[in-house]
Structure 1
């Protein structure tokens, strides 16, 4: 059986909020895109633990299947990734629902519980890559990590 942290990547949406139309996002020529990573600060994870969360990879893999053109655009325009502060599991779930309602790729990671965090704890949410203007509709009020 796959660890819980890998489950989010493999099953994509077997639990949680269903994706919108991931193929619907098309950035304009030269339009900046970014991916954001919302990290729960209430868990007090170390930098190493945060870096081990694979929400960005889960988004990348999902979009390579559904909207590879968007991923290539993001790669050509600098692959911007921004880490933001989240406050709770409820906030991550709310942001994920908003992102998906805008057809943005959003994936949260549920930790396997092998080190610092209890198994089943939602730790990190990735959104994007997508045009900055769309991602900011979801996370524009959050502070940098």
Structure 2
């Protein structure tokens, strides 16, 4: 079991901004995950993996694949208070879910 957070590298967000956006993605997806999967994930150590994509199009392609697979997810849109315009899609949180299921979609992405 793991959770994957995908960050857009093309936005050139600062480290703190990336951390905040990744947290939004993690919590948002966590809240949409069934109790049994959350329990199993917690018992296994709550693994999280942060990866990146180079564009909005790439992120949205993964978003559609995750929706189609029925895996819990959360698409983060920034509020626009600091570095980027309001409504900008910054991250996608996926899971927690089975490693194999998530890897079918995200396994080729590079670590952030």
TM-score range, shorter chain: over 0.9
Unaligned runs of 5+ in 1: 1-32
The 1-side partners of 2:26 and 2:58 are apart by: 18
- Paired residues in the alignment total 110
Of 15, 29, 37, the residue aligned with 2:5 is 37
- The residue aligned with 2:20 is 52
Q: Contact 2:32–2:73 (CA<8 Å) still a contact in 1?
A: no
- The residue aligned with 2:76 is 109
Larger Rg: 1
Shift of 1:86: 1.1
Of 43, 48, 61, the residue aligned with 1:81 is 48
For the aligned residue pairs, the C-alpha RMSD in angstroms reads 0.8
Unaligned runs of 5+ in 2: none
Runs of 4+, deviation exceeding 2 Å: none
TM-score (norm 2): 0.95
TM-score (norm 1): 0.74
